[in-house]
Chains A and B, each alone.
Chain A
Amino acid sequence: MKTTVPALAAAVMMAASPVMADLVVPNMSYRTGPYAANGIPYADGFSDYFTLLNERDGGIGGQLIQVPECETAYNTEKGVECYESLKSQNPLVLNPLSTGITYQLIPKASVDDIVLYTPGYGRTSAKNGEVFRWVFNAPANYWDGASVAVSHILEQEGGDLSGKKIALVYHNSAYGKEPIRTLQGLSEKHGFELVELPVDAPGQEQKSQWLQIRREKPDYVIMYAWGVMNQVAIQEAVNIRFPMDKFVGIWWSGSENDVTPAGAGADGYKSLTFHGVGQDYPLYDDLRTHVLDAGKAAGAGDQMGNVIYSRGVYAAVVIAEAIAKAQELAGTSEIDGAQLRDGFEALEITPERMAELGLPDFGQPIALSCQNHGGDGLGRIQQWNAGAGEWSLITDWIEPDAEILQPLVDEDSAAYAQEAGIEPGCN
């Protein structure tokens, strides 16, 4: 140990040479480990958008954006190491793309004045900005997703779900358990029966669960899965000939990676999404000319257009807009974490602005405030076309059921505030 310490010191010194003046938006990615297949496109999309801003516009407000990357492998301990090494570079905002790491960083980032932006994942009750001052999870969260899925099913069934049976197949972890309370509340309200089917990680073997689905014949299946569990679940659903158009996954169960291994059988599978699909947006032309063709793409440069890649781009877009807003409010282009938080709280992304960014109708309008860090939580349904090998949007934006969700958010955030000794408020 005695010899490794000085060597380590030297290595850390090399690593920790922060370049000031640039805005630092780190990319906490996972390109290895059990969830690499989804981590790679997300990280690529996130990086590529900032590369585009730097190349095309010279950054945001004249400030170049630095995107140092740190590999977490979806592992909370590596997440700690990444957080500490990134912290020395004065990051403005972190987007860890892991619910576990997010939970760990929520208290730390709040003390260190770093914004956490966790679109579509993380701690759902962070929507309550009075308790979670530094955490933003707009435009949609897990509970919104569950509610949107049920609303879609409701619409399919002509507005009546009484006597119907909906099965929830979920990753038996913090992430997978998130929608349970929402769905229980909704099942009371709409009178459908909820069957909960946990699958232990990693989820290679799900025969019991799908045999049960085959026996009980639920009318719909909602799935909260991640990693290998997605591919196996969709394959098993194909195997038992469950009707694919009655099978709705959360947005983390709806990428090309998840459906392609099941081949033609997966045709018609539905999943939620909170952003547009495909490459048919003007922004992608810019990405191609300024980033991909210029040889500046992150990773192998072969992920463009992938659903998860688009999600990475979307996260970067929201962060970039918040930075611009913060610069406008602060009157300076060199903002810090606290100013960025104000920027997020005043963030307003209108459909017109999205069109201006080259992403018309790509995302929902976002308007945040101190009280609301989670946006409106609208979602859309996308459906897989196996023949063409592409997703297509089949619905317009669907609203979640605030009547069920808001009390849950209030209750969970109040419990956290009490446990952590936080006085809820806006100052």
Chain B
Amino acid sequence: MDQLIFAGEVFLNGLMTGVMYALVALGFVLIFKASGVFNYAQGVLALFAALTLVGIQQGQIPFAHLINAAFGTSLHHFGWTVPAVLAIALTAGVMVLLAFLIEKLVLKHLVGQEPIILFMATIGLAYFLEGLGDVMWGADIKTLDVGLPQGISDTIETATANWFGYGFFIDRLDIWATVIAAALVAALVAFSQYTKQGRAMRAVADDHQAALSVGISLRFIWVMVWSIAGFVALVAGIMWGTKSGVQFSLSLIALKALPVLMLGGFTSIPGAIVGGLIIGVGEKLFEFLIGPMVGGATENWFAYVLALLFLVFRPQGLFGERIIERV
């Protein structure tokens, strides 16, 4: 009986973790859907966004270390702090600017190339952004606080304690992440269904050539999609960065999104969410039930094995477009 209640708690926490994974996976899906690019730089984008947010919030001087090294000055901070809401808005602005630059300097020159080449361009981008983030804001760890609550939710603990005799642990940050993810997905769906730009985005995703021929500006759509992906990266960066502080390792959360993508399909927003939930629950339950027998730390590989099991039966991913092969 106890075991069942514990499994219930693990299950719920798996769902919550799945939402966190899905947040990262969402950014990949958006870009893949609109431009067929597997964006390797998505994780670094999240790191860069979080670094920029903290930098703006704390009034850090960008490139201070470079300036100090070149001119022998000792600059660090402007000496002000910016409220969280304003800082988030400014960071979103930076991400739009970045999307614009990426289109202008990289993607524009690679229109019509094969997916593998665009993938490789994003590798280059990842290297560049990692270096840029460090040079701009420094490589030390930074505390991110935009006022999100953390820690166990007392309401749920008391309620479950009354029902089952064991209080469940649910992190309030995870609850917030779920709410924000739901809002984000709703907004994205509404945007792509009901606005002119959203429809244009879907048209581009269907067929670049056809979209161009009816007068849709490919360049505008790309800037837009990368901006949205940058914004999603910012949200993911805030959620993960609140827990761990902002540091290089934040870019590694992209690895957690990979099995989610494989499972959900690269082209489906609901796929990213459902895939995230399945991976989250699956790996947590496996670690809970089987982990102790084999020595633990199974989550990293089990996520992929789980995705693999699903793919053997559905090779295009759960929500991926059906693969039709013709000779």
A residues lining the B interface (CB < 8 Å): 31-34, 36-37, 40, 172, 196-200, 202-205, 207-209, 211-212, 214-215, 227-228, 231-232, 235-236, 238-241, 257, 260-261, 263, 265, 295, 300-302
In the assembled complex, the Cα of A204 lies from the Cα of B65 at a distance in Å of: 28
Q: Which residues of A contact B244 (CB under 8 A)?
A: 204, 228, 231-232, 235, 261
In the assembled complex, the Cα of A205 lies from the Cα of B283 at a distance in Å of: 11
In the assembled complex, the Cα of A125 lies from the Cα of B64 at a distance in Å of: 43
In the assembled complex, the Cα of A155 lies from the Cα of B17 at a distance in Å of: 38
Within 8 A of A (CB), among B128-173: 134, 138-141, 143-145, 150-152, 169, 171
Can you add 18 more A-B contacts, CB < 8 Å, to A196-B296, A212-B288? A34-B252, A36-B139, A37-B247, A197-B296, A198-B295, A203-B249, A204-B244, A204-B256, A211-B169, A214-B169, A215-B6, A227-B247, A228-B245, A228-B249, A238-B150, A260-B143, A261-B144, A261-B244
Whether A239 pairs with B171 at a CB distance below 8 angstroms is yes
Whether A265 pairs with B299 at a CB distance below 8 angstroms is no
Whether A211 pairs with B152 at a CB distance below 8 angstroms is no
Query: Total interface residues on B, using CB and 8 Å?
Result: 47
Q: Which chain B residue lies CB-closest to A202?
A: B249
Q: Which residues of B contact A36 (CB under 8 A)?
A: 139-140, 247-248
Q: Which chain A residue lies CB-closest to B246?
A: A261
Summed over the interface, the residue pairs from A and B with CB atoms below 8 Å come to a total of: 120
| 8 pairs, CB–CB < 8 Å, chain A vs chain B | A34-B249, A197-B296, A204-B250, A205-B20, A209-B296, A227-B247, A241-B151, A300-B65
Whether A211 pairs with B141 at a CB distance below 8 angstroms is no
Whether B141 pairs with A208 at a CB distance below 8 angstroms is no
Whether B139 pairs with A40 at a CB distance below 8 angstroms is yes
Would you give the shortest CB distance from B242 to chain A, in whole angstroms? 8
Whether B252 pairs with A40 at a CB distance below 8 angstroms is no
Residue B240 at the A interface, CB < 8 A?
yes
Q: Which residues of A contact B297 (CB under 8 A)?
A: 172, 198-200
- A215-B6, A261-B244 as given contacts; A208 in contact with B152, CB under 8 Å: no
In the assembled complex, the Cα of A33 lies from the Cα of B247 at a distance in Å of: 9
Q: Which residues of B contact A263 (CB under 8 A)?
A: 143, 145
Within 8 A of A (CB), among B261-296: 283-284, 287-288, 291, 295-296
Whether A300 pairs with B138 at a CB distance below 8 angstroms is yes
Would you give the shortest CB distance from A268 to chain B, in whole angstroms? 15
Q: Which of B13, B64, B152 sits near A241, CB closer than 8 Å?
A: B152
Q: Which of A172, A228, A300 sits near B76, CB closer than 8 Å?
A: A300
Closest 9 A/B residue pairs (Cβ): A37-B141, A261-B245, A228-B249, A36-B139, A198-B297, A208-B287, A202-B249, A172-B297, A200-B297
Whether B74 pairs with A301 at a CB distance below 8 angstroms is yes
Would you give the shortest CB distance from A233 to chain B, in whole angstroms? 10
Q: Which residues of B contact A301 (CB under 8 A)?
A: 74
Q: Which residues of A contact B249 (CB under 8 A)?
A: 34, 202-204, 227-228
Residue B228 at the A interface, CB < 8 A?
no
